[in-house]
Chains A and B, each alone.
Chain A
Amino acid sequence: MKTGFLQIRHSRPVDRNRIPDLSFDEFRKQAMEIVKNKGKVVHFFAYEENKAIRLMAVLRTDHLLHVAGCKAPESYPSMSRECEPFHMFEREIAEQYGIRPEGHPWLRMVRYHPNCQDRPDVFGNDYTKDIPGNYDYYSVQGEEIHEVAVGPVHAGVIEPGHFRFNCIGERVLNLEIQLGYQHRGVENLLQTADPKRLPILAENIAGDTTIGHALCMAQAMEAIAGMETDQGAGIIRTIALELERLANHTGDLGALSGDVAFLPPANYCGRMRGDFLNLSLLICGNRFGKGLVRPGGVRFSIDGEMNKNLINRLGELKNQMINVIDLLLISTPSVRSRFEDCGKVGKTDAEYLGLVGPAGRASGIPYDVRRVFPTEQYGKLNIPEHAEHTGDVYARAKIRADEVIQSIDIILSLLTGPIASKEVPAAVPALQPSAFAVSLNEAWRGEVSHCLLTDADGRILRYKVKDPSFHNWNGLSMALRNTGISDFPLNNKSFNLSYCGFDL
């Protein structure tokens, strides 16, 4: 089938002159055709070039990526009605560039900031006001309906966001999630800051996904700079990404246990999460892996003694994790009864919303970037297809628990001895002009992806970041439908989405 979109490979350089430049109507038609044939949206964004605004989409079908662009119209018929996963991307474009998707089902601000084009604001906001005010939440009418508003400052030590529940009694009819409080202008900085700051910015998009985002940047830059990394770097990067997954999944399993007041696993997991973070500290001097990945490779090797140390510690933690997971998910009926059937998202809904990562896998969508678009060492690892089918809190916990054990095994299989890698140069590499690259990685929350476009002089024209949370927040709203409001914390933890990764 000729789609008009160009087939490309991830983390490979693409000459931008080869990317099809379609009319908007053709662009829309072709994109819709791909998504109707099971295509998914990886990116849809706008950028400015030679004073004109252009749109670009990256879509994926089974093991293939497709890209095309077009000149942006002033407004266009929204694609969200035909393909819901465009929903957030269209709102983002409207906010960033002032281009209106006509007929969008819920055209509201995403992060609350003026567009970069001095165009009239699509949402009619007054940005001299400091707080995202001026927002009409979805409201349900009826005598017995009540609203509950939570945030932006929450009760715990967590990131800010606003949750608006419309309830009848205890039952949630609708949850609306309004974010943007963590907006730091990351994409703008990535396009304007001194290049020496770029790897640092990537690492700090979302601290719990430091490795995921740092890898995406490194791979995109390596592609466009024509750099090769050595095998040692590939192994250490894979280990680091799996350690990140381990620490976060373990922490969330503990938090889920705490949310149903079963304290032993909550404490054990809290401690073991720290132990996994400490393994990153052991490798690179930072608990979150900051400073490890750089374009061109990694900055630290693993010597023989460290290799032994890692094997010993992981072996011990594996046994403890197996036992704690058994305690939490299998042998304690009161926990199971709280997890099962709670916050269900069926496969049809998950497909409709375009969920990714563990949240998608818990609802029967086996997509895993490590298997479908493997980077680093993943092509050699035979990552099995894995999914649960109940779509409830239990399934989301089970997926995470399975991945904990899987990640430990992956790391152990890679620790066969000292792993050496050459020294990475301190400076960020020079980029080829008029090039494009898209990189994808399966971070612990799912598909992280970056797009890098350079201009005719090899400068960064557009740097687009997508955290998996961008796909998944509406999944949490869906899980809460017809669920008791008191089960919100439990569901929220089972997704544990990123506020800063979404807000950028």
Chain B
Amino acid sequence: MLKILFNRLEQGYRTNNYPKEKITLFPRYRGLPSIHQDAPDDLARQCAAACPQDAIDADRKVIDMGRCIFCGTCERLSKGKFVSFTGNFEISVSEKKHLITDGTLPSLAEHSKKHFKKLFGRSLQLRQVSAAGCNACEADLNVLATPFFDLARFGINFVASPRHADAIVVTGPISRNMKTALLQTYEATPSPKVVIAVGSCAITGGPFRGSGEVTEGLDTLLPVDLFIPGCPPHPMTNLHALLRFFK
């Protein structure tokens, strides 16, 4: 018993105060890209050619954040002159086309449909479906339940049954072998329901695009309401998206 108390004291209070207080991540974290429109065209083309995800459109000087895995290759190659990554983790959008960005994003709160806020603003139950992918997206959703993030304080929880859920949160590129199970989970969730795509895999197939075994975008199967980009999205990106979209 004494040891329980001792550990409790040593561990202290760890929950963050976001969104009331800003959080700064470590400097090497790669968040929202800034794309420097004045960069030479051939530098942009060089970056586009080197991008492992073919996420850069060199002519329009935009990045598709749905494809981007935030590897930082373009930033290194251009020494920050074409692309540099900011520490801004608030990068989710409600329409897929907004992921193709020149470095600016519309405010998520304005774009979220008002009736979702009204319906789910006080209590939101999420059913997560892991559909292929590498499991890192799931891991960084899972941590939202740990004391530092403490998602439950906002009335948001992950639940075991789709019957108890208001939204399904999908990760992974939806392998052929998971498609039926995913669609059945969607069917089993009562309406009105929200569909959230988390991670580059769920949004575009991510690193696995081009394999005949995966789906290149959850939106080809289901209507998606919220897109959270990243590989994986930082837990703060997930937290921001859930709070801004529903609260």
Contact = CB atoms under 8 A, between A and B. Distances in A.
A200 B53 contact: yes
B28 A183 contact: no
Interface in A459-504: 498-500, 503
Given A185-B213, A210-B136, A281-B26, A201 B177 contact: no
B143 A274 contact: yes
Interface string A151-174: 011011111100000000000000
A159 B148 contact: no
B132 interface: yes
A327 interface: yes
A112 B211 contact: no
B211 A184 contact: yes
B135 A208 contact: yes
Interface residues of A, number: 72
Contacts of B131: 160, 181
Interface residues of B, number: 70
Nearest to A320: B10
A42 to B, nearest CB: 23
A326 B135 contact: no
Interface stretch (B97-105, B107-115, B168-176): B168-176
B137 interface: yes
A308 interface: no
Contacts of A286: 29-30, 70
Interface string B37-71: 00000000000001111000000000000000111
Nearest to B140: A287
A432 B27 CA distance: 38
A200 B142 contact: no
B176 A130 contact: yes
Given A157-B142, A184-B213, A267 B132 contact: no
B210 A500 contact: no
Given A200-B53, A287-B234, A500-B134, A181 B146 contact: no
B177 A112 contact: yes
A281 B207 contact: no
B212 interface: yes
Interface in A408-440: 426-427
Contacts of B73: 426
Interface in A319-356: 319-320, 323-324, 326-327, 331-332
Contacts of A1: none
Nearest to A132: B177
Given A207-B136, A288-B136, A300 B28 contact: yes
Interface string B145-184: 1111000000000101100000000001101111111000
Contacts of A229: none
B134 A189 contact: no
A274 B132 CA distance: 23
Interface string A115-155: 00000000000000011100000000000000000001101
A314 to B, nearest CB: 15
Contact of B213 (A183, A200, A284): A183
A185 B128 contact: no
Most buried by B among A186, A200, A326, A327: A200
B133 interface: yes
B7 interface: yes
A320 B7 CA distance: 8
Contacts of B145: 270
A286 B72 CA distance: 10
Given A159-B135, A182-B130, 9 more contacts: A152-B181, A158-B130, A181-B177, A182-B132, A184-B211, A194-B52, A204-B231, A205-B134, A281-B28
